Amino acid sequence: MRLRRSPTMNRKAETPSANQNDCLDPTSVIIASAGGINPAGRSSDHQAFLRVVYDALPAELQASTNAALATLTGNANDEANLNGTLVRAWDDDTHAVRGWSPEAMVFHQPVTESSDQGLRSSNRKPDLNNPSLNDPDLNTADLSKPSLNTSNARPLTESTAPLRTRDTGNSLVTNPKQDNGISTYQVTYKRCAIQSAGQLPQGFHPGSLYKSKHHPRGLQMALYAAADALGNLGMNADELKQHLAPDDIAVYMGSTAGQLDMEGFGGMLCAPLLGQRNTSRQLPMGISTMPADFINAYLLGNAGSTGSNNGACASFLYNLRMALDDIRSGRRKLVLVGNSEAPLLAGIVEGFNAMGALATEERLQALQGCSSGQQTDTEPGALTTANSQPDYRSASRPFADNVGFTLAESAQCFVLASRDTALELGLNILGGVGDVFIHADGYKKSISAPGIGNYITMGKAMASAQRALGKDALKHSFVQAHGSSTPQNRTTESDMLNRLANAFDLTDWPVCAVKAHLGHSISAASADQLLMTLGSWTHGILPGITTAPAIAADVHQARLNIPLAHTPIAPRDIDLAFINSKGFGGNNASAWVLSGHQVTARIQAESADNEWQTYLERNKVVKEKQQAYLTAVSRENLSLPYRDKEKQPEPDDIELSTEGMSLPGWSERIVF
């Protein structure tokens, strides 16, 4: 039967307020589940959160976290798994996993050849212990392998003369058979200036859990995130279809950069330079909304609303606002919302580095006293030996002395439901979404520089929460800051937070910055922040910036408390959380969310005893299914419920009238 407002779910009368029209009900949109994968591990059961705060956990929780990582990575070595998670130096299997080597990035260097005098070049072909890069018979065909991201481009002339490839001993050169001096290119290599990243746990490969041939990594991760969220929800897709109509459901999930690996836009753009044809898959696979499309087509069979709103590094909060508006307006009853970003590709790394945004190896060496050999301190992020490598673990240092952010990959998916849907289905209540605010910066001197828009979004979020919850609620709040680990961010975001704390009469306001551990996953960054917030509410720990010995001198913190250590705290002291995000171009977004404890208490207080008891009975069944999933996934990496052989609905399969239509597999009709 189609879900509708039950007469037994009427709320108790609410006290009128002078600002009632401006107040939002924080129990109207429920966070019912979370799933995904990031550098800390699996999202369900708060496993990623537990890895982040591992050093603050009791021995029992450390053991269960180690066991979960062992299952995820297929490696029983606890030390290796701890070292193979969070921000770190590039894994030694980066070439095999991502198709490029940070030790030898392939690129074309312009050279000039006059007659047969040879080529002027000082580049040496490095020994990578990789047969594909050291084969003495390497030729043009070998260079066109997509896994190398190389290209044998013709010189920039109108000549169509035959090409020849020569191995000069230093590098491989492609040039036309012409005697006059011309511009041409040689395929050569360089060491990447960026030597650290937030990579998925080493040994975990999402594409191994289903038939993923020709699928970009970001889409593999998106399917894993959605499957994990459904497992953690305690209801699978078929069960949802028995209670909801197709237009009751929406999926809002995407990426900022699209899928730029060789299976997506990257391969499409490189094909002419590689002497290859484009495939029919590369263009659609690269589209930024494809994470939602894959979930609809191969996991849910969803025929409801879909899409993604791209707001650069704030994209998840843009999607969250779409989900919030849909549910609050009554257009949807259940929404899967998230983002999936796999940006650890040579071109993207080089692009961000060209902006001066990333923490390069050279800058880290200078920051940590590498080149001088000075013993700067003995805390995390410090080095004591001259000319040694930087501490890549401490590359990301929000609000501390820092030199740029650390790029990361992540896919997160949250299941949101209307209050009535959550109660009637017995869904878990992890929290409630209050509101999301989005603003631009106005005029800008630099499109990538921060501006005034974030003052507006956070100010509005704080005022909205205060109207809905009361003035004292802000005293029991904390901030999940954008905290990107750039010098500009540490001063501008801290100034904004400190000034707003003063305006709202807050002191010692806790500010967390989880990019210190996870890195910056671009569109999924604020989703990582929300995930960590759910973990703090459950386990009573605020993640600290353990990658730095001190807060930078230019950070504004008179009214802030930016912990450098993981801090135990009573969950009820942080019932309200603000998620802040800033993106290139002036994409600013801030949200406020309320803890599951507070949301549950409010709903129970507004429900009759028999109504609440009915919910608890339904929730017991859901919890049993959820626990069955969590137990199973802790023992083995489960195959994803990928459905690429399902019968596609045809026009003859539907029953159509002026009032609506039915779809096979769904119990409820679509209403026109």
- Nearest CA-CA partner of 509 in 454, 552, 573, 594: 573
- Vertex 440 angle, CA 436 and 446, to 5°: 140
Residue by residue, what is the 3-state secondary structure of 363-374?
A: HHHHHCCCCCCC
User: What does the alpha-carbon distance between residue 220 and residue 215 come to, in Å, rounded to a whole number?
Assistant: 7
Phi, psi of 566 (to 5 degrees): -60, 130
How high is the pLDDT of residue 56? 98
87-89 vs 196-198, strand pairing mode:
antiparallel
Residue 127, pLDDT score: 47
- Pick the residue with more confidence: 449 or 474? 474
Judged against a pLDDT cut of 80, whether residue 158 lies above it is answered with no
Phi, psi of 319 (to 5 degrees): -65, -40
Q: 3-state SS of 639-668?
A: CCCCCCCCCCCCHHHCEECCCEEECCCCCC
Backbone angles phi, psi at 203, to 5 degrees: 105, -15
**Number of residues in the chain:** 672
In this predicted structure, what is the pLDDT of residue 369?
Answer: 85
d(CA 298, CA 546): 40
Mean pLDDT of 476-483: 98
Q: In whole angstroms, how far apart are CA 457 and each of 314, 317, 447, 463?
A: 12, 11, 18, 10
Strands (E) located in 256-356: 305-307, 334-341
Q: Helix (H, G, I), strand (E, B), or coil: what is residue 134?
A: helix
**8 Å CB contact between 87 and 395:** yes
Question: How many Å apart are CA 612 and CA 6, to the nearest integer?
Answer: 13
Spatial contact of 485 and 363, defined as CB atoms under 8 Å apart? no
pLDDT value at 12 more than 60? no
365-404: buried (b, 16+ CB within 10 Å) or exposed (e) per residue? bebbbbeeeeebeeebbbbeeeeeebbbbbbbbbbbbbbb
Q: Which residue has the higher pLDDT, 150 or 194?
A: 194
pLDDT for the residue numbered 636:
98
CA dist., res. 153 & res. 186, Å (int)? 9
Among the residue ranges 108-112, 168-172, 416-420, 455-459, the one predicted with the least confidence is 168-172
pLDDT at 20 over 70: no
pLDDT at 601 over 80: yes
Strands 655-656 and 670-671, bridge-based pairing: unpaired
pLDDT of residue 183: 65
Is 520 a known active-site residue?
Answer: yes
pLDDT at 125 over 90: no
Task: Answer whether residue 91 shows pLDDT above 90.
Answer: yes
Top pLDDT among 179 and 139 is at 179
Nearest one of 190, 156, 191, 158 to 174, comparing CA atoms? 156
What angle separates helix 217-233 from helix 609-635, to the nearest 10 degrees? 130
- Which is nearest to 450 in space by CA: 322, 351, 343, 581? 581
46 is catalytic: no
Instruction: Transcribe 339-367 into DSSP letters.
Output: EEE---SHHHHHHHHHTT-B--HHHHHHH
> Which is the catalytic residue, given 243, 520, 556, 566?
520
- One DSSP character per residue, 447-512 reads TTS--THHHHHHHHHHHHHHHHH-GGGGGGEEEE----S-HHHHHHHHHHHHHHHHHTT--SEEEE
Catalytic residue among 46, 95, 243, 482: 482
Q: To which H or E segment does residue 222 belong?
A: helix 217-233
Q: Which residues pair with 438 in a beta bridge?
A: 589
Would you tell me the crossing angle of helices 487-503 and 453-469 to the nearest 10 degrees? 40
Cα-to-chain-centroid distance, residue 320: 13
What is the average pLDDT across 36-45? Answer: 99
Mean pLDDT along residues 31-45: 99
Residue 268's pLDDT is: 96
Residue 10, pLDDT above cutoff 80: no
Measured CA to CA in angstroms, residue 580 lies from 124, 154, 251, 317, 478 at distances of 46, 47, 23, 9, 11
Q: Is 249 left (phi over 0), alpha (psi -120 to 50) or beta?
A: beta
Mean pLDDT over each residue of the chain, to the nearest integer: 88
d(CA 393, CA 371): 18
Rounded percentage of the chain residues whose pLDDT exceeds 90: 76
Cβ–Cβ < 8 Å for 225, 338: yes
Question: Considering 95, 192, 243, 313, which one is annotated as catalytic?
Answer: 313
Residue 73 or residue 378, greater confidence: 73
Q: What is the separation of C-alpha 157 from the centre of its chain, rounded to a whole number of angstroms?
A: 43
Half-sphere exposure at residue 291, Cβ-oriented, CA atoms within 13 angstroms: 40
Q: Which residues of 12-38 are buried (b: 16+ CB within 10 A; e: fewer)?
A: eeeeeeeeeeebbebbbbbbbbbbbbb
200-228 tens-digit pLDDT: 999 999 999 999 999 999 999 999 999 99
Are 37 and 43 contacting, i.e. CB atoms less than 8 angstroms apart?
Answer: yes
Q: Which residues pair with 183 in a beta bridge?
A: 112
pLDDT computed for residue 239 by the predictor: 97
Selected residue with higher pLDDT from 116 and 258:
258
Going by their DSSP bridges, the two strands 105-113 and 509-512 should be labelled as unpaired
Hey, what are 579's tokens? Answer: 């998620």
State residue 13's pLDDT score: 36
Give the list of residues 6+ apart from residue 262 with CB closer than 8 angstroms, or none: 99, 146, 147, 149, 270
Say whether pLDDT at 419 is over 70.
yes
Torsion from C-alpha of 396, 401, 402, 408, nearest 10 degrees: 20
- The yes-or-no verdict on residue 6 having pLDDT over 50 is no
Mean pLDDT (whole number) for 313-327:
98
pLDDT at 180: 53
Q: Are 352 and 312 in contact (CB under 8 A)?
A: no
Check residues 41 and 270 and name the one with the higher pLDDT. 41
In the chain, what are the domains?
Answer: 37-88+213-344+407-435+450-634 (3.40.47.10), 94-112+176-191 (no CATH), 360-394 (no CATH)
DSSP 45-69: GGHHHHHHTGGGS-HHHHHHHHHHH
Report, as an integer, the average pLDDT of 72-81: 98
Q: How is residue 533 annotated by DSSP?
A: H
- Alpha carbons 333 and 327: distance in angstroms, whole number: 6
pLDDT in tens, 621-657: 999 999 999 999 999 999 999 999 888 888 888 889 9
In Å, the largest CA–CA distance within the chain is 92
CA distances 179 to 182, 295, 353, Å, are 8, 56, 38
Mean pLDDT of 270-292: 93
Please state, in angstroms and rounded to a whole number, the distance separating the CA atoms of residues 170 and 403: 34
Question: What local confidence, expressed as pLDDT, does residue 149 receive?
Answer: 42
Between 386 and 304, the higher pLDDT residue: 304
State both tokens at 445: 């001197």
Annotation says 313 is catalytic: yes
